[in-house]
Amino acid sequence: DYDIELNGRIGLCIVPDEETGGVRGSRYVVDTGLLGKNRIGMLTPEPTNGVIWNANRGAISLRVKVMGKPAHVGLHYQGINAFERMIAVVNELLELKVEVESRKTEFKIEPEAARRSILMIGGRCEGGTNFNLVPAECSFTVDRRINPEEDLEREKGKLLMLFENLRQRGIDLDVEILQEGRSAGVSEDEPVAQVLAKSIEAITGKAPRFEMCPALLEIRFYAERGIPAFAYGPGILSVSHGPNEFVKPKDIYTCTSIYALTAIRLLGS
C-alpha cells in the first residue's frame, strides 16, 4: 500500500461476451453510463505482443445459402444444381474482393500485406447429400473485415445489394448476418496513449509501437462515445484462442505494474 491519492476513480469491468459480440458486456456498460461521467480513457489487456493497439477492424460476417432442386444424377435435368448456382454467387464476390483488397489503411500494421481491407469467402462451406444427387442447397460464409477508414453501413449495403442483384437474376438465396461490429481508430497522440507508452517504457525499458489490431476489439464501444480506448496486455497473439494458449505469469505482473503506473500518472494528485 503506497497510500497514493488519486484524483478520480478507476472502474474495473469484467464482461461475459467479449468474444461473442459484446452486446451484454461492454456495449451495455457504455450505453447505460455505468462507469459514470467524465471518462478520460479505457485500457483492455489483450495479448498485444508488446505493442499498443489504437485501432481495430470492423466486421460483417454472413452465411449465404443458395437453393436448388434435388434430383437423381440420371434425372439431373429435373433438378436445379445449387452448387453451380453457388459458383455464380462466388464469382460475383471474387470481383468485389479485388476492389476491396485495393484499399489500404493508413494505420500502422505489419506486414505491409496486412494493411489491405479483407473479404474472405468460404471459411465454412456445406452442401449436397451424396455424389449421385443434384444438390438441393449449398451454403458458405463471407467474412468482411473493414478498415477504420471504411464505413460499416456502406460496406454492408454493398454486400446486400450484390445478393439482391443475384436474386433478381433468378438465383434463390438467403443471407444470414452472423455478426457485425464497427471499426475504430484513436490517435496515438491522446494523453492516455502517451502516458501508457511512457509507463511501458519506464517498466520494460523499451518504447512500444502503436499498431492496428487485425480483428475486432472492445475499444470500439468506447471510441464510439469519444472515450480514448487502447489495448495493451500480456500474452502472444499467435497462440491466442489455440490449443496451446498460454500467458507467462511474469508478463501479467508486468502489465499490472504498467496499468498502475499509468493510473498514477493520469490521476495522481
Per-residue pLDDT for 169 more than 90? yes
Please tell me the total count of domains within the chain: 2
Question: Do 52 and 84 belong to one domain?
Answer: no
Q: Which residue do the cell numbers 491522446 mark?
A: 190
Shared domain for 201 and 244, answered yes or no, is yes
SS3 category, 75? helix
Expressed as residue numbers, the domain containing 93 is: 58-181
Q: What is the pLDDT of residues 66-102, one digit of tens each?
A: 999 999 999 999 999 999 999 999 999 999 999 999 9
Give the pLDDT confidence of 197-232 residue by residue, as tens digits.
999 999 999 999 999 999 899 999 999 989 999 999
Residues 161 and 70 in one domain: yes
Q: What is the pTM of this model?
A: 0.85
- Answer yes or no: is 13 within a domain: no
- CA atoms within 13 Å, Cβ hemisphere of 11: 16
Q: What is the pLDDT of the chain when averaged over all its residues?
A: 94
The per-residue b/e assignment along 153-169, b for 16 or more CB within 10 angstroms, e otherwise, is eebbeebeebbeebeee
Domain boundary, last residue among 181, 200, 225: 181
